[in-house]
Structure 1
Amino acid sequence: MFKEVEKTLSFPSLEQEVIDFWKTHHIFQKSVEKDAPQGNYVFYEGPPTANGKPGIHHVISRAYKDLFLRYKTMQGYRVERKGGWDTHGLPVELEVEKKLGFTKKADIEAFGIAKFNELCKQSVFERIQDWQAMTERIGYWLDLENAYITYENQYIESCWWLMKSLWERDLLFEDYRSTWHCPRNNTSLSNHEVAQGYRDVEDPSIYPKFPAYTGELVKCGLLENETQPVYLLAWTTTPWTLPANVALAVRADAMYGLFAAPPQAGDRSQTDLYILASSLANQVFGEGNYRTLKTFTGEALVGLRYQPLLQGYVPEGEDLSQGFRVVSDEQVIVDEGTGVLHIAPAYGDLELGRKYNLPMLFSVDLLGQVYPQVKLVDAPEGEGPYTGQFFKDADRQIIADLLDKQLLYRATTINHTYPFNYRDGTPLINYAKKSWYIRTTAVKDKLIANNNKIHWHPEYIRDGRFGDWLRNNIDWALSRERYWGAPLPVWVSEDESDYICVGSVKELAELTGRDLSELDLHRPYIDEIVFEKNGKRFQRVPYTVDVWFESGAMPYAQWHYPFENQDVLAGNFPADYICEAIDQTRGWFYSLHALATLLTDTGGSLAHIAQDSPAFKNAIVLGHIVDEKGEKMSKSRGNTVNPWTVLDVQGADALRWYLYSTSPPENTKRFSQGLVEDTLRDFLMTLWNTYSFLVLYANLDQPDLQQDIPVFERPEIDRWLVAKVNVLIRDVTERLEAYDPTSASRAIRDFVVNDLSNWYVRRNRRRFWKSEHDGDKLSAYKTLYETMVIVAKLMAPMAPFVSEHIYQNLVLSVFPEQPESVHLANWEKFDPTLIDTNLLRDMETLIRIVELGRAARATAKVKIRQPLGEILVRVRNQAEIAGLKRLEEQLKEELNVKKVTYLDIATDFVDYTIKPNLPLVGKRLGKQVPALKKKLETIDTHELVHNVREGKETVIHLDGKSYRLEPEAFLIEVNSPEGYAAIEEYGYLAALNTQLTPELIQEGVVREAIRLLQEIRKKAGLNLSDRIRLGLETSGTLLEALEAHLETVKNEVLAQEIRFAEIKEACYSTCVNINDIQLRVTLQKISSDGEVG
């Protein structure tokens, strides 16, 4: 009937068999090509770079992507699953530089751009086989044969078209701005790249003393005479920028003062004069360590001139006459530092410099190296002492020299955040220079409005991390001074008066009058393309573009839009679903969103696309992954996990199921091989054992599973399971529709473990064991079979391998006309007519009381095998009492009790000890907590417990005041009466009579003997269905007990015959002890007709 289930299961081996089946039968292709009555479900693959091995974090994102694509396919959507490869950019260049031993851009230039880029091209697919193998092994179906590749000419040409469309609307432009610059790689970075590289670091915190011109202070009435120098006291964490200082900024409406304070070092009896914000004097000097000589507003300082501390590099033609003066700026803060801000327009203060027409001085070049001109103001002629030092390295010597000249009030350190290149860890410089930008600020309101159309999972990303990013939007720094990337398609005339942006290879060919169809669009070949127009010679600007622009262009460039596939784009935009890690809110999520907003804005260039459309409708944002202790994974710590280690031992289904079920996608996930093993053991093995149970007995009995048995004609326990699995269909569907795989997977797990295995199969074993082939037995088979098939389908998107195996064996063996794969089958539909709400309620009440009864046994340390005389039960209403009475026999069996007594709903059978929940009430009541404790010793505990059960607040009077306390404010302990073990929860009570009679004790001994005999069957290597002949040799009370309950023992252990003597033909024998009495067991396996097996 069914293929036999392996006794020793290897999930990895099973999964490889399934992979082979998929490949042989082209199941993935068929899933894309099958009928799709629901239309397209569009998915965008965030392109990885295949120049490194995939890690566990790549497995996570692919697992979450695959789940919803399989689910939507089963729902009747067409899901194309086009793959993609991110092949350009700095990460690729850095890897090649590392192999070549290069440390700077000059090394690349000397080596040759053409050769370097060719090595980059070769490197991007060095690990493609690893990526393909991992993708296949975890069951992530993706069309990699037709994947888009960002280095291909067609992809680049589409990017050109996008940039040309922005150019035509004045959204692509060149400007001289402060931009974050990486000195190691000598290139700009976009704001979303910078955002990914902030670190907490320790940096200098210094207070430079800028000498003011005292004559000007006297002139404006801020100083009485010029007998003592006065210092404008600033504060900075970047000493290396001081040579570029050209102004000091104050807040015009804030209060400042002239203060006398001793120096930090040297003669403390002397005092120096300082100007700084009045609100910061205590913080800077220390309370009581200074005198206030005069106060005034910051406005009084504006225009005051001062002397610089260091010389910087002065560009040719730069006029310094407007420099070294105090200016006002409302951005100056007066709650940290000194309220006097050091201004260096070349390194972050460009807008303020423009506002006041300040000169531009430089301290370091684009490589981050200090200019030779940098030195102290009074230093002798010649090269400065910091020449060629890396800017961060120069800090120490600059500080030392200023201290030596007594031009620092104090030099300490500070812990703060600073941006680094997130690719290689190089500290960045906010550098004023020419770059090309996309004017995203022009559509800022549209960016925010379109964001509100996206369903983020979790929802708080919309207004939180992503929303904050959009509200603080700045123009996108697009250009990169690098080599391996899509070239910026802008040509400039030699006199830099005219610019031409090219939108296609055809347009460029027309400008040059050449056939460029075979041209490689990368550098250096594109740099060689020059042309003349209007009497001017045009040369391409020497930039590539931000790789995030390329990845954000994938909805269009993957189809070579608009040069072809216009109708294809119309049916594949926007995406219904994307999924990546949380850092992509600053990366791919943003670049997709920004470009879609720009292109679908009024006057945008996307034909056939709805105006003001986001690029995607739903996004799952994944949290980071850490080790099982919650620590960040790193090679240096030795706590990284190779995904193949898990895949080869526990398998992909266990790995996937753990990821889905352990916590919501956005949460940081703890990960280890042991945690995946727990999932395998606790869930998948339970599923497998249930499936194995069905196959084993069905193969013995050969039930006719094609025979229809109406649900309403089946026994009550079967109708309950049918209702429960329909509830499961409803819940899993609703949760997956809400993009909540955690709740969906947990619902399946709870159903399989609790409802199916621990309740239905355990309670119905005898129906499968019995020899009669009646309607009751067929109904049990039919119900369990249908349930296992439904579970396989519901699990298919999450555990695609084991669900495929179960489907293949159960479904196609009985119904060969069904789809050949579970992943080609239709998603199960909820049928409300199969839900018997009363039956579900009654069974839920039964299970709740059973759980309380088991807890009561555990409290009393009475094993379930020991029968007890009575259980007292209290439920919440008459309907529950009626339902429990109807199911009373099941309650007795489950709790192994002889009698059930129903207490009145209002009966308080137990007493209570009530204590305050200190963590909750402590802060609220404070010193009144001891009074509350005393009050609870005298209060009517039954009334308070009633309030807690009903979820009502309780009013407590303490020292003349009234407090309304919620139910959670109390901890309730149940005190059982003598001779009873009682457990109460949410108004339900189960109280077991723990007094044992001789008859109960004897029955308990028999049940212990049955347990041991079942273990002996296993040790003898018997199948669950094998019949046996049993020899039992013992004495005393044990012999009496076994003789008194002989038929029970025979039925439970499938013994066709029991002799109280040795069986000479035994195939297995052993001895055990029960209550210190020896029992010798001899066992012989026999066939079902009584013959020796």
Structure 2
Amino acid sequence: ATRWYMVTAGAPWNPMKFDPNGVRETYAKMFLTMWNVYKFHADYAALDGFDPDAQTVEVGKRSALDRWILSRLHTVAAEYHENFTNWQFHKACRDLEDFIVNDVSNWYVRRSRRRLWDEADSHDKLACQHTLHEVLETVCRLVAPVSPFMVDHIHRNLTGTSVHTANWPLGIPGTLEGATADAWDEDAAQATAELPPQDLALEQTMALVRELAEAGRRIRIDGGRRQRLPCAQGWIVAGPDLSEFHDLLAEELNVEAIRVENDLDRFQRIELAPNFRALAPKARSEVNNVAQAIRSAEDPESLLAAINDGGADVLGVMVEASDVEVKRVEREGFAAQTVEAEGESLHVSLVLDMNDTPALLSKGMARDIVRRVQAKRKDLDLAIEASIDLEIWLSNAPEMMPTDEQWVATETRAAGCVFHGSNDQAPSDAEQFEVDGTIVHFTVN
């Protein structure tokens, strides 16, 4: 961590004041994240008896998520190498750290967890394991020149060999003299490069998907809706075809379904406001009454249509288009945000249905319970495959659907899962938390 901090803290030609807190932050952000990604892969690989040499999956036959992270690995590795050759070590390491933290951990691993939770063997599960193995192996080789110790341990566990005897992912020039020369033999290096295929179009599409996911989080924050409470529907308005990522985006946004909509006006209504500068001279003493009548119109769409059709009589005053200002706002129960597609002058809107139903409230509560129980399993240091007995007490809670109660049991690996009635008393040593006014107690044994 100290070596990585010293490289990333500033350009090598600038003076730097050493900060121990910076080392701690680097350790927590970069190296603990990388170790957790490795442990995630290693734990499930051990459970499944994964052998990277026994059965391979061609990159072209893997999911779009797999192909995306491998393409990002190619792009980041190439830029890392280029920055090293230009003495931009700080930029190279910062970009690689961002890749490990944001692309690999916060997106790829988080979106792939359920693929490895499935106990049955599958092509998709195998593809995910191969992808994680390849990403970790290449990242270890890239990190090794700067921070050699932890990545050597990981690389030895992944491949059985030291990272310091492995080939550079961008290829080798062929001879020791070539490696130490001012300029590499680029043809020889390219011929021996060990990088996955690059797909820049896929990278651009996934960037838009992630922008929409972030827009969805902002919608929830602005609307005061917690992340684990699902929405019935979401709509993508305009933009490129993202149908391949609808399921991924629906899971990330926590909506039941994602659909495409071409007309944003479907989710909007108009509000009329008076333009006092134009209205006051003609309305005179009645200007405030006319203004209030414009604001409180029962059918603003019809009033606006009449105004645009030549004028409308409002309390004896002929109101024209220049006398009003038109605003478009979301219809009640909907919320939207707009993002710009990367590399294109194209705006894409995301609309979420913010209305609640008993089924949605039940699912939301089940997901909050699962999160807390999983955190308790972690505190107890339980093995991934270990079963538990779970008891839950709810107070002032939405009605829990039987399917959601069963889902809680399955997700938490509960051999026995009991939901007690609201009149039952929880034991004094039960864990407790509150969600939107609902008090939840639970015990794990």
TM normalised by structure 1 equals 0.30
Q: Does 1:721 align with 2:75?
A: no
Instruction: Tell me what 2:289 maps to.
Output: none
Instruction: Tell me what 2:298 maps to.
Output: none
Instruction: Tell me what 1:871 maps to.
Output: 234
> After superposition, what is the alpha-carbon deviation per residue over 1:968-990, rounded to whole angstroms, capped at 9, x for unaligned?
xxxxxx97554444333333333
CA contact (8 A) 2:10 2:90 kept: yes
**Against the structure 1 CA distance between its residues 742 and 981, is the aligned structure 2 distance closer, same or farther, given a 3 Å change threshold?**
farther
Aligned to 1:1034, the other structure's residue is in SS state: strand
**Against the structure 1 CA distance between its residues 874 and 742, is the aligned structure 2 distance closer, same or farther, given a 3 Å change threshold?**
farther
Equivalences for residues 115-134 of structure 1 within 5 A: none
Q: Does 1:699 align with 2:46?
A: yes
Query: Which amino acid letter does the alignment assign opposite residue 1030 of structure 1?
Result: D
Deviation for aligned residue 1:658: 2.1
Query: Which amino acid letter does the alignment assign opposite residue 431 of structure 2?
Result: C
Distance 2:376 2:120 in 1: 26
**Against the structure 1 CA distance between its residues 873 and 668, is the aligned structure 2 distance closer, same or farther, given a 3 Å change threshold?**
farther
Instruction: Tell me what 1:890 maps to.
Output: 248
CA contact (8 A) 1:1032 1:1081 kept: yes
Distance 1:773 1:797 in 2: 37
> After superposition, what is the alpha-carbon deviation per residue over 1:567-607, rounded to whole angstroms, capped at 9, x for unaligned?
xxxxxxxxxxxxxxxxxxxxxxxxxxxxxxxxxxxxxxxxx
- The match for 1:1015 among 375, 378, 381 is 375
Aligned to 2:337, the other structure's residue is in SS state: strand
Aligned to 1:1027, the other structure's residue is in SS state: coil
Distance 2:238 2:88 in 1: 34
* RMSD over aligned Cα atoms: 3.0
State how many pairs are aligned: 351
Equivalences for residues 505-654 of structure 1 within 5 A: 654=1
**Against the structure 1 CA distance between its residues 1061 and 902, is the aligned structure 2 distance closer, same or farther, given a 3 Å change threshold?**
closer
Deviation for aligned residue 1:1056: 3.7
Instruction: Tell me what 2:37 maps to.
Output: 690
Query: Which amino acid letter does the alignment assign opposite residue 145 of structure 2?
Result: P
| Identity value in percent | 29
Distance 1:1031 1:906 in 2: 46
CA contact (8 A) 2:155 2:162 kept: yes
Instruction: Tell me what 2:139 maps to.
Output: 791
Distance 2:403 2:264 in 1: 42
**Against the structure 1 CA distance between its residues 985 and 774, is the aligned structure 2 distance closer, same or farther, given a 3 Å change threshold?**
closer
**Against the structure 1 CA distance between its residues 1006 and 775, is the aligned structure 2 distance closer, same or farther, given a 3 Å change threshold?**
same
Aligned to 1:985, the other structure's residue is in SS state: strand
Instruction: Tell me what 1:985 maps to.
Output: 339
Deviation for aligned residue 1:1034: 2.4
Deviation for aligned residue 1:791: 0.5
Query: Which amino acid letter does the alignment assign opposite residue 721 of structure 1?
Result: I
Aligned to 2:400, the other structure's residue is in SS state: helix
**Against the structure 1 CA distance between its residues 869 and 774, is the aligned structure 2 distance closer, same or farther, given a 3 Å change threshold?**
closer
Deviation for aligned residue 1:906: 8.8
Instruction: Tell me what 2:282 maps to.
Output: none
Deviation for aligned residue 1:745: 1.1
> After superposition, what is the alpha-carbon deviation per residue over 1:174-232, rounded to whole angstroms, capped at 9, x for unaligned?
xxxxxxxxxxxxxxxxxxxxxxxxxxxxxxxxxxxxxxxxxxxxxxxxxxxxxxxxxxx
Aligned to 2:387, the other structure's residue is in SS state: strand
Q: Does 1:899 align with 2:257?
A: yes
Q: Does 1:662 align with 2:9?
A: yes
Deviation for aligned residue 1:1061: 6.7
Instruction: Tell me what 1:858 maps to.
Output: 221
Query: Which amino acid letter does the alignment assign opposite residue 841 of structure 1?
Result: Q
Instruction: Tell me what 2:166 maps to.
Output: 825
Deviation for aligned residue 1:781: 1.4
Deviation for aligned residue 1:903: 4.2
> After superposition, what is the alpha-carbon deviation per residue over 1:128-164, rounded to whole angstroms, capped at 9, x for unaligned?
xxxxxxxxxxxxxxxxxxxxxxxxxxxxxxxxxxxxx
CA contact (8 A) 1:1030 1:1055 kept: yes
Distance 2:262 2:158 in 1: 48
**Against the structure 1 CA distance between its residues 776 and 871, is the aligned structure 2 distance closer, same or farther, given a 3 Å change threshold?**
closer
Please list every run of 5 or more consecutive structure 1 residues that lacks an aligned counterpart in the other structure: 1-653, 813-819, 912-973, 1063-1068, 1085-1093
Q: Does 1:847 align with 2:206?
A: no
Q: Does 1:1041 align with 2:404?
A: no
Query: Which amino acid letter does the alignment assign opposite residue 803 of structure 1?
Result: V
Deviation for aligned residue 1:720: 2.2
Please list every run of 5 or more consecutive structure 2 residues that lacks an aligned counterpart in the other structure: 171-192, 270-327, 341-346, 422-428
TM normalised by structure 2 equals 0.71
Distance 1:1020 1:754 in 2: 28
Aligned to 1:723, the other structure's residue is in SS state: helix
Query: Which amino acid letter does the alignment assign opposite residue 1001 of structure 1?
Result: L
Instruction: Tell me what 1:672 maps to.
Output: 19
Instruction: Tell me what 2:198 maps to.
Output: 835
Instruction: Tell me what 1:616 maps to.
Output: none
CA contact (8 A) 1:694 1:785 kept: yes
Instruction: Tell me what 2:444 maps to.
Output: 1083
**Against the structure 1 CA distance between its residues 821 and 1083, is the aligned structure 2 distance closer, same or farther, given a 3 Å change threshold?**
same
**Against the structure 1 CA distance between its residues 976 and 659, is the aligned structure 2 distance closer, same or farther, given a 3 Å change threshold?**
farther
Query: Which amino acid letter does the alignment assign opposite residue 840 of structure 1?
Result: E
Instruction: Tell me what 2:130 maps to.
Output: 782
Deviation for aligned residue 1:795: 0.8
Deviation for aligned residue 1:1022: 1.1
CA contact (8 A) 1:1028 1:1056 kept: yes
CA contact (8 A) 1:1030 1:1081 kept: no
Aligned to 2:336, the other structure's residue is in SS state: strand
**Against the structure 1 CA distance between its residues 978 and 672, is the aligned structure 2 distance closer, same or farther, given a 3 Å change threshold?**
farther
Equivalences for residues 282-681 of structure 1 within 5 A: 654-669=1-16, 671-681=18-28
Deviation for aligned residue 1:1083: 3.0
Query: Which amino acid letter does the alignment assign opposite residue 78 of structure 2?
Result: R
Distance 1:661 1:716 in 2: 32
Distance 1:1031 1:1018 in 2: 15
Instruction: Tell me what 2:285 maps to.
Output: none
Instruction: Tell me what 1:741 maps to.
Output: 89
Aligned to 2:219, the other structure's residue is in SS state: helix
Query: Which amino acid letter does the alignment assign opposite residue 801 of structure 1?
Result: F
**Against the structure 1 CA distance between its residues 1052 and 662, is the aligned structure 2 distance closer, same or farther, given a 3 Å change threshold?**
farther
> After superposition, what is the alpha-carbon deviation per residue over 1:106-140, rounded to whole angstroms, capped at 9, x for unaligned?
xxxxxxxxxxxxxxxxxxxxxxxxxxxxxxxxxxx
CA contact (8 A) 2:392 2:419 kept: yes
Instruction: Tell me what 1:533 maps to.
Output: none
Distance 2:217 2:439 in 1: 30
Distance 1:1078 1:823 in 2: 54
**Against the structure 1 CA distance between its residues 706 and 976, is the aligned structure 2 distance closer, same or farther, given a 3 Å change threshold?**
same
Query: Which amino acid letter does the alignment assign opposite residue 807 of structure 1?
Result: H
**Against the structure 1 CA distance between its residues 664 and 851, is the aligned structure 2 distance closer, same or farther, given a 3 Å change threshold?**
farther
Instruction: Tell me what 1:378 maps to.
Output: none
- The match for 1:1005 among 365, 377, 380 is 365
Instruction: Tell me what 1:800 maps to.
Output: 148
Aligned to 1:1032, the other structure's residue is in SS state: strand
CA contact (8 A) 2:247 2:258 kept: no
Distance 1:1080 1:978 in 2: 35
Equivalences for residues 16-165 of structure 1 within 5 A: none
Query: Which amino acid letter does the alignment assign opposite residue 220 of structure 2?
Result: R
Distance 1:873 1:998 in 2: 25
Equivalences for residues 143-222 of structure 1 within 5 A: none
Distance 2:10 2:331 in 1: 41
**Against the structure 1 CA distance between its residues 737 and 975, is the aligned structure 2 distance closer, same or farther, given a 3 Å change threshold?**
farther
Query: Which amino acid letter does the alignment assign opposite residue 155 of structure 2?
Result: Y
CA contact (8 A) 2:237 2:348 kept: yes
Distance 2:15 2:401 in 1: 56
Distance 1:1018 1:733 in 2: 39
Query: Which amino acid letter does the alignment assign opposite residue 985 of structure 1?
Result: V
CA contact (8 A) 1:868 1:996 kept: yes
Query: Which amino acid letter does the alignment assign opposite residue 1055 of structure 1?
Result: A
Instruction: Tell me what 2:310 maps to.
Output: none
CA contact (8 A) 2:228 2:367 kept: yes
Query: Which amino acid letter does the alignment assign opposite residue 755 of structure 1?
Result: D
